[in-house]
A and B are shown apart, each in its own frame.
Chain A
Amino acid sequence: MECNCFEPQWPADELLMKYQYISDFFIALAYFSIPLELIYFVKKSALFPYRWVLVQFGAFIVLCGATHLINLWTFTMHSRGVEVVMTTAKVLTAVVSCATALMLVHIIPDLLSVKIRELFLKNKAAELDREMGLIRTQEETGRHVRMLTHEIRSTLDRHTILKTTLVELGRTLSLQECALWMPTCTGLELQLSYTLRQQNPVGYTVPIHLPVINKVFSSSHAVKISPNCPVARLRPAGKYIPGEVVAVRVPLLHLSNFQINDWPERYALMVLMLPSDSARQWHIHELELVEVVADQVAVALSHAAILEESMRARDLLMEQNVALDLARREAETAIRARNDFLAVMNHEMRTPMHAIIALSSLLQETELTPEQRLMVETILKSSNLLTTLINDVLDLSRLEDGSLQLDLETFNLYALFREVLNLIKPIASVKKLHVSLNLAPDLPEYAVGDEKRLMQTILNIVGNAVKFSKEGSISITAFVAKSESLRDSQAPEFFPVPSDNHFYLRVQVKDSGSGISPQDIPKLFTKFAQTQSTATRNSGGSGLGLAICKRFVNLMEGHIWIESEGLGKGSTAIFIVKLGIADRLNKSKLPFMSKVSTNHGLTAFPGLKVLVMDENGVSRMVTKGLLVHLGCDVTMVSSSDECLRVVSQEHKVVLMDVCVPGIDGYDIAIRIREKFTKRRERPLLVALTGNTDKVAKENCMRVGMDGVILKPVSLDKMRSILSDLLEHRLLFEAI
Chain B
Amino acid sequence: MDVVNQLRRQFVDYYTSLHREGFVDDQFTQLQKLQDENSPDFVVEVASLFFEDCEKLINNMARALEQQQRVDFKQVDASVHQLKGSSSSIGAMRVKNVCIAFRSFCEAQNREGCLRCLQQVTHEYSLLKNKLQTLFRLEQQILAVGGSIPVVE
Chain A residues within CB distance 8 Å of chain B: 615-619, 621-623, 625-626, 628-629, 657, 659-662, 690, 711-712, 714-715
On whether the beta carbons of A619 and B34 are closer than 8 Å, the reply is: no
On whether the beta carbons of B31 and A625 are closer than 8 Å, the reply is: yes
Given known A621-B46, A662-B78, contact A628–B89 (CB-CB < 8 A): no
By CB atoms of chain A within 10 A, which of B27, B33, B36, B50 has the most?
B33
On whether the beta carbons of A660 and B85 are closer than 8 Å, the reply is: yes
1/0 per residue B44-77: CB within 8 Å of A?
Answer: 0110011001000000000000000000000000
On whether the beta carbons of A626 and B27 are closer than 8 Å, the reply is: no
On whether the beta carbons of A629 and B33 are closer than 8 Å, the reply is: yes
B85 surroundings in chain A (CB, below 8 A):
616, 618-619, 657, 659-660, 690
Separation of A65 and B80 alpha carbons in the complex (Å): 163
Given known A660-B85, A661-B78, A711-B88, contact A625–B53 (CB-CB < 8 A): no
On whether the beta carbons of A622 and B89 are closer than 8 Å, the reply is: yes
A623 surroundings in chain B (CB, below 8 A):
89
On whether the beta carbons of B49 and A712 are closer than 8 Å, the reply is: no
- Chain A minimum-CB-distance residue to B85: A616
Our pick among A617, A625, A661, A715 for the contact of B86 (Cβ within 8 Å) is: A617
Given known A662-B78, A712-B88, A712-B89, contact A618–B33 (CB-CB < 8 A): no
Q: Is the interface of B mostly helix, strand, loop or mixed?
A: helix
Q: How far is the CB of A662 from chain B (nearest CB, A)?
A: 7
Our pick among A621, A659, A660, A690 for the contact of B45 (Cβ within 8 Å) is: A621
On whether the beta carbons of B45 and A714 are closer than 8 Å, the reply is: no
Separation of A621 and B46 alpha carbons in the complex (Å): 7
Q: How far is the CB of B129 from chain A (nearest CB, A)?
A: 14
Q: How far is the CB of B99 from chain A (nearest CB, A)?
A: 11
Our pick among A616, A629, A661 for the contact of B89 (Cβ within 8 Å) is: A616
Tell whether B118 is near chain A: CB-to-CB under 8 Å. Answer: no
Given known A618-B53, A661-B81, contact A626–B34 (CB-CB < 8 A): yes
Q: How far is the CB of B149 from chain A (nearest CB, A)?
A: 16
B42 surroundings in chain A (CB, below 8 A):
625
On whether the beta carbons of A616 and B36 are closer than 8 Å, the reply is: no
Separation of A659 and B30 alpha carbons in the complex (Å): 21
On whether the beta carbons of A617 and B31 are closer than 8 Å, the reply is: no
> How many of chain B's residues have a CB under 8 angstroms from any CB in A?
25
1/0 per residue B96-115: CB within 8 Å of A?
Answer: 00000000000000000000
Tell whether B13 is near chain A: CB-to-CB under 8 Å. Answer: no
B90 surroundings in chain A (CB, below 8 A):
618, 622
On whether the beta carbons of B81 and A621 are closer than 8 Å, the reply is: no
17 contacts between A and B (CB under 8 A): A616-B82, A618-B50, A618-B85, A618-B87, A618-B90, A619-B86, A619-B88, A619-B89, A622-B46, A622-B90, A625-B42, A629-B38, A662-B78, A690-B88, A712-B30, A712-B89, A715-B34
Given known A616-B82, A625-B39, contact A715–B30 (CB-CB < 8 A): yes
Q: A618-B89, A622-B89, A711-B88 are in contact. List 19 more A-B contacts (CB 8 A).
A: A616-B86, A617-B53, A618-B46, A618-B87, A622-B90, A625-B31, A626-B30, A628-B39, A629-B34, A629-B39, A660-B81, A660-B82, A661-B81, A690-B85, A690-B88, A712-B30, A712-B89, A715-B30, A715-B33
B30 surroundings in chain A (CB, below 8 A):
626, 712, 714-715
A622 surroundings in chain B (CB, below 8 A):
31, 34, 46, 89-90
- Chain B minimum-CB-distance residue to A614: B85
By CB atoms of chain A within 10 A, which of B30, B39, B49 has the most?
B30
Separation of A622 and B53 alpha carbons in the complex (Å): 14
Separation of A622 and B33 alpha carbons in the complex (Å): 11
